[in-house]
A and B are shown apart, each in its own frame.
Chain A
Amino acid sequence: GAVVSQHPSRVICKSGTSVKIECRSLDFQATTMFWYRQFPKQSLMLMATSNEGSKATYEQGVEKDKFLINHASLTLSTLTVTSAHPEDSSFYICSARDRLNLYEQYFGPGTRLTVT
Chain B
Amino acid sequence: RKEVEQDPGPFNVPEGATVAFNCTYSNSASQSFFWYRQDCRKEPKLLMSVYSSGNEDGRFTAQLNRASQYISLLIRDSKLSDSATYLCVATVGSSNTGKLIFGQGTTLQVKP
Contacts and interface: CB of A to CB of B under 8 A. Distances in A.
A101 B102 CA distance: 21
Contacts of A97: 96
Q: Is the interface of B mostly helix, strand, loop or mixed?
A: loop
Contact of B45 (A45, A102, A107): A107
Interface string B41-69: 11111100000000000000000000000
Contact of A109 (B8, B42, B95, B97): B42
Contacts, number: 43
A34 B99 contact: yes
Q: Is the interface of A mostly helix, strand, loop or mixed?
A: strand
Interface in B19-58: 32, 41-46
A107 B45 CA distance: 7
Interface string A24-47: 000000001010100001111110
Nearest to B103: A43
Nearest to A94: B43
Nearest to A108: B43
Interface size class, chain A: 20 to 34
Contacts of A49: 99
B100 A105 contact: yes
A41 to B, nearest CB: 8
Interface of B: 4, 8, 32, 41-46, 87, 95-97, 99-105
Interface of A: 32, 34, 36, 41-46, 49, 91, 93, 95, 97, 102-105, 107-110, 112
23 contacts: A32-B97, A34-B99, A36-B102, A43-B102, A44-B44, A44-B102, A46-B99, A46-B100, A46-B101, A49-B99, A91-B41, A93-B43, A95-B100, A97-B96, A102-B95, A102-B97, A105-B100, A107-B44, A107-B45, A108-B43, A109-B42, A110-B41, A112-B41
